[in-house]
Chains A and B, each alone.
Chain A
Amino acid sequence: MAEHDKMSRSIAAHGLPLAGAHFPPESLDDLRWAALLAGAQANRMSGILVQAIVDGALRATDDQRGEAIEAYIESVGTVLRLERTLLWTIEHLDRAGIDYRILKGAAVAHLVYPDPGWRAYGDLDVLVPSDLFDRAVAVLVAAGGHRHEPQVRPGFDRRFGKGTAIVTEEKHEIDLHRTFAAGLFGLNIKTDDLFATSSAFTVGGETIRALGPEERFLHACYSAAIGDPSPRLMTLRDIAQMLLLGEIDAQRVRTLCDDWRGRAVVDRAIRSTQSTFGLDELPPEWRWTIEHRCTSAEVRALRSYTSERSGGSQALGALGAIRGVRAKLAFLRAMALPQRSFLDRKSNRKNLLRWWGKGARSLRRSFSRPG
């Protein structure tokens, strides 16, 4: 592993009860410092970087300290502006009587870390109930936002999608979610479960609702395992923070996870967290998370989230989680024949062609199987 990667991981691990952080005993030379600072900024870890310097874990010259604080102030500026957008969002949802749970960045920063300054973020993630999804989009659009992208077909997002992005007049992005992920694993989640509990934090004197601790932990696992082709360092830190320092009911996590058929997702997330932070031993109550043996279908499904050109496989995999022939047909119809406004985007046209190709190959394979 490259040295700057190792250092980035040490920054990400700062404050966790783990042995062996790898900071050098002296301050870094200019080149290595520049790489570390860039890594911290790219991973939204400038808050932890400053904290590591303040705690004396990472030695820094006065100039380096100043640069770290400058980077931190810049990231905090973004967060504070997003918090205004957060207040705007919940004001409109509340007024329309739409329940919500704040996900990821904002919620984790306020509820999981010692100070919100530890955890920067670049957009807002808001979960709304599936049956109110279209209304929530309409409310935010009427208030001045606009959809980043049209939906595949009317009603698709509410029934089958992960969600959509709304861009505000200030160009802030609100990821409006219906579930945690697209495709099979997202559709398997019982979205009503997500509103059964909540946690609260305060921004600007307003009480904000977030997911309950166990659902929040599971969401971090879904983000790490299937949110991006490779997991983000800060998301893995979120998992480690909750696992080692959070007050989470491991048994309840297990029950939800089994109910959502998400063991493979949690297994991958925990293994990534372990290897990133050298966390050899899990607390006993969490060992079940890595005892899962993935089925070949789960392996295929996981691969569809992490390979770059996998939209087609992900969509076809989702069919398995859709109940009822009519719903399956509606899904297939939307995927095969999207509405015109969706196709007006070049990237969507390309994805559709790829999906058709994938579907045709799957059909050919099905027909060529002997007896």
Chain B
Amino acid sequence: MTHVLPDEIDRHFLALARPEVAGIELAGEAVLLDEAGELHLLNSTATIVWHCCDGSASLAEIAAELAISFVAGQNEIERDVIETARQFGRKGLLEGVQAEDP
């Protein structure tokens, strides 16, 4: 499988959470455990984006849905969603994305 670099993630990217990553949620914020045993605390926005990472929609489509739900500007939301997905990618949480060395 070819891996993209986190910074190459763009609005067309289909983000898919790695199946090895487990998570638990409390008060809308998730804690994720990656394959290496590292824990990641997500804020509520990142938690929503994480839940959308099922490989079924592009980041632009996710942002469009979120913009409707949160009554916010789509461009701004799209920027945030792409940056969040890049962060997930850097931490090795997404399929097909080359994680950054710890």
Q: Are A50 and B33 in contact (CB under 8 A)?
A: no
Q: Does any Cβ of A come within 8 Å of B71's Cβ?
A: no
Collect the chain A residues with CB atoms within 8 Å of residue B102's CB: none
Q: Does any Cβ of A come within 8 Å of B23's Cβ?
A: yes
Q: Are B27 and A54 in contact (CB under 8 A)?
A: yes
Cβ-defined partner of A50 (8 Å) among B27, B37, B39: B27
Collect the chain A residues with CB atoms within 8 Å of residue B41's CB: 69, 73
Q: Does any Cβ of B come within 8 Å of A77's Cβ?
A: yes
Collect the chain A residues with CB atoms within 8 Å of residue B37's CB: 81
Collect the chain B residues with CB atoms within 8 Å of residue A30's CB: none
Whole-angstrom distance between the alpha carbons of A8 and B17 in the complex?
37
Nearest A residue to B41, CB-CB? A73
Cβ-defined partner of A116 (8 Å) among B19, B24, B27, B39: B24
Nearest A residue to B30, CB-CB? A117
Collect the chain B residues with CB atoms within 8 Å of residue A79's CB: 24
Chain A: minimal CB distance from B91 (Å)? 15
Chain A: minimal CB distance from B63 (Å)? 25
Nearest A residue to B21, CB-CB? A204
Chain B: minimal CB distance from A319 (Å)? 44
Q: Are A115 and B33 in contact (CB under 8 A)?
A: no
Collect the chain A residues with CB atoms within 8 Å of residue B27's CB: 50-51, 54-55, 115, 117
Q: Does any Cβ of B come within 8 Å of A80's Cβ?
A: yes
Collect the chain B residues with CB atoms within 8 Å of residue A117's CB: 24-27, 31
Mark each residue of chain B from 26 to 52: 1 if its CB lies under 8 Å from any CB of chain A, else 0: 110001110001010100000000000
Collect the chain A residues with CB atoms within 8 Å of residue B19's CB: 204-205
Q: Does any Cβ of B come within 8 Å of A83's Cβ?
A: yes
Most buried by A among B23, B26, B41: B26
Q: Are A204 and B26 in contact (CB under 8 A)?
A: no
Collect the chain B residues with CB atoms within 8 Å of residue A161's CB: none
Whole-angstrom distance between the alpha carbons of A29 and B77 in the complex?
41
Q: Does any Cβ of B come within 8 Å of A240's Cβ?
A: no
Whole-angstrom distance between the alpha carbons of A54 and B27 in the complex?
7
Residues of chain B at interface, number, CB under 8 A: 13
Q: A69-B41, A73-B39 are in contact. Are A81 and B26 (CB under 8 A)?
A: no
Nearest A residue to B26, CB-CB? A117
Q: Does any Cβ of B come within 8 Å of A163's Cβ?
A: no
Q: A81-B33, A117-B31 are in contact. Are A72 and B22 (CB under 8 A)?
A: no
Task: Tell me the residues in window 70-86 of chain A with beta carbons closer than 8 Å to chain B beta carbons.
Answer: 72-73, 76-77, 79-81, 83-84
Q: Does any Cβ of B come within 8 Å of A145's Cβ?
A: no
Cβ-defined partner of A72 (8 Å) among B23, B26, B32, B33: B26
Q: Does any Cβ of B come within 8 Å of A100's Cβ?
A: no
Task: Tell me the residues in window 197-255 of chain A with beta carbons closer than 8 Å to chain B beta carbons.
Answer: 203-205
Whole-angstrom distance between the alpha carbons of A205 and B20 in the complex?
10
Collect the chain A residues with CB atoms within 8 Å of residue B25's CB: 115-117
Task: Tell me the residues in window 268-319 of chain A with beta carbons closer than 8 Å to chain B beta carbons.
Answer: none
Whole-angstrom distance between the alpha carbons of A205 and B21 in the complex?
11
Q: Are B22 and A84 in contact (CB under 8 A)?
A: yes
Q: Are A47 and B26 in contact (CB under 8 A)?
A: yes
Nearest B residue to A118, CB-CB? B26
Collect the chain B residues with CB atoms within 8 Å of residue A84's CB: 22
Chain B: minimal CB distance from A8 (Å)? 19
Chain A: minimal CB distance from B43 (Å)? 11
Whole-angstrom distance between the alpha carbons of A118 and B31 in the complex?
13
Collect the chain A residues with CB atoms within 8 Å of residue B33's CB: 77, 80-81
Task: Tell me the residues in window 57-93 of chain A with beta carbons closer than 8 Å to chain B beta carbons.
Answer: 69, 72-73, 76-77, 79-81, 83-84
Name 4 extra pairs, CB < 8 A, besides A73-B39, A73-B41, A80-B24.
A51-B26, A77-B39, A115-B25, A117-B25
Chain A interfacial positions (CB closer than 8 Å to B): 47, 50-51, 54-55, 69, 72-73, 76-77, 79-81, 83-84, 115-118, 203-205
Interchain Cβ contacts under 8 Å between A and B, 10 examples: A73-B31, A76-B24, A76-B31, A80-B31, A80-B32, A115-B24, A116-B24, A117-B26, A117-B27, A204-B22
4 closest A-B pairs by beta carbon, nearest first, are A117-B26, A80-B33, A54-B27, A76-B31
